[in-house]
Amino acid sequence: MAQTIIGHGLTIEGEITSDDEVTVAGTVRGRLSSEGAVIVDTGAVVEADVSAGSLSVGGSVTGNVTASDRVDLLTGGRLVGDVKAARITIQDGASFKGNVDMDV
Amino acid sequence: MARSTAASTNANRERTESDFASVLASGTRVRGRVRGDGDLRIEGHIEGDVAVSGDLAIEDGAAVKGDVQAANVTVGGELTGDVSARGAVVIRATARVAGTMGGSEVSLEEGASFDGRIEAEFDLPPELTR
């Protein structure tokens, strides 16, 4: 298991790169890139450009997002920034401000 | 996605995976500052200072370049930097460490590579203070 968990209460300022899944329940500022999934839990704060295989947002993300597969904005999630992804879903109750580029 | 991030309250030193609120896995690299509450297990690479209120474990295969601060610190991997622990510092046999180790107690297992100073704060037993 090579899963990274940034727990509630933990803050990382800088650049994070990973070759596997990253779950954020705390705070990340800077840049976050993963070859796998990035999961931003409810209550998490990400002020960073995110590049990932897929991104699921239940917390707050401020920054530009690039996903090779998909972006899912969940109920209660908040995303401010431009999204570049082949697939995107925005659930009822999610907040979003930015542009979407589905590469068509 | 519900995950247990509750801080472990048991005083037992033997910890299992789920006791650590935060994990930086082996394929993960961080360049920057890591700080906050709870325990942290590092299996990947960190360039920068680490400060957590809980326990810190630098596992075999992990590498940290920077100063670390935590309650108890266990090092099984590579660490270049100073350690400041409120509790114990344990340097395991697999560790390669360079820096000043500060803690209430510091232990060094046979086989560990260590280059630096040990500053353990403790009272000498009465027979040695005469």
- The pLDDT assigned to B18 comes to 42
Question: B57 Cβ partners below 8 Å, 6+ apart?
Answer: B15, B20, B39, B40, B41, B42, B73, B74, B76
| Average pLDDT estimate for B110-123 | 89
Share of chain B above pLDDT 90, in %: 75
**Residue contact A17–B21, C-beta within 8 A:** no
Place of tokens 């037992």: B12
Write out the DSSP string of A27-71. Answer: EEEEEEEESSEEEE-TT-EEEEEEEEEEEEESSEEES-EEEEEEE
Model confidence at B8: pLDDT above 60:
no
**Residue contact A2–B26, C-beta within 8 A:** yes
- Report pLDDT digits (tens) over B40-71: 999 999 999 999 999 999 999 999 999 999 99
Give the end-to-end CA distance of chain B in Å, rounded to a whole number.
61
- Report pLDDT digits (tens) over B23-35: 999 999 999 999 9
**Nearest residue in B to A6, CA atom:** B22
Global pTM reads 0.86
- Report pLDDT digits (tens) over A20-48: 999 999 999 999 999 999 999 999 999 99
Place of tokens 């209120």: B53
- The pLDDT assigned to B127 comes to 82
Closest CA–CA distance from residue A68 to any residue of chain B (Å): 19
**Residue contact A13–B33, C-beta within 8 A:** yes
**Residue contact B40–A3, C-beta within 8 A:** no
Place of tokens 């968990």: A5
Q: Could you tell me what percentage of chain B is helix, strand and coil, using 3-state DSSP and rounding each to the nearest 5?
A: 5, 50, 45
Confidence of residue A97 (pLDDT cuts 50, 70, 90): very high
